[in-house]
Amino acid sequence: METIPAKQYLKIKERHPDFLSAVETLGKTTKQAGPIDNKTAQLIQLSAAASIRSEGAVHSHTKRAISVGASADEIYHALILLTSTIGFPNVMAALNWADDVIESSLGD
């Protein structure tokens, strides 16, 4: 699955190319800084996005997790694991946002 950047991301990239380049470099650098594989890194970032209730970031990291081989079950489990930390309502919102992507990407 090819990940297509969100329209807002592309607008910011056009307006502030140096800023987005630095952000992209930071992302690549942090992923290479340790032993965590890309799929696990995306699931961690998905969990962080859910924790801050960022619908756009949940969509983005769900797409990215799928693109590196995460299954729907792995995505759901990563989010459900947050229940005792961020609460049931927040997890339900994140599951709903992830479903937006999973249903269109994986057909689940």
Domain boundaries, the chain: 7-105
Domain over 7-105 is classified CATH 3.20.20.20? no
Share of the chain above pLDDT 90, in %: 80
DSSP state at residue 70: -
Q: Give pLDDT, residue 107.
A: 58
- What pTM was estimated for this model as a whole? 0.84
Question: What gap in Å lies between CA 60 and CA 40, rounded to an integer?
Answer: 15
**Per-residue pLDDT tens for 19-51?**
999 998 998 899 889 999 999 999 999 999 999
Question: What gap in Å lies between CA 36 and CA 34, rounded to an integer?
Answer: 6
Angle CA 39–50–54, to nearest 5: 115
CA Rg value for the chain: 14
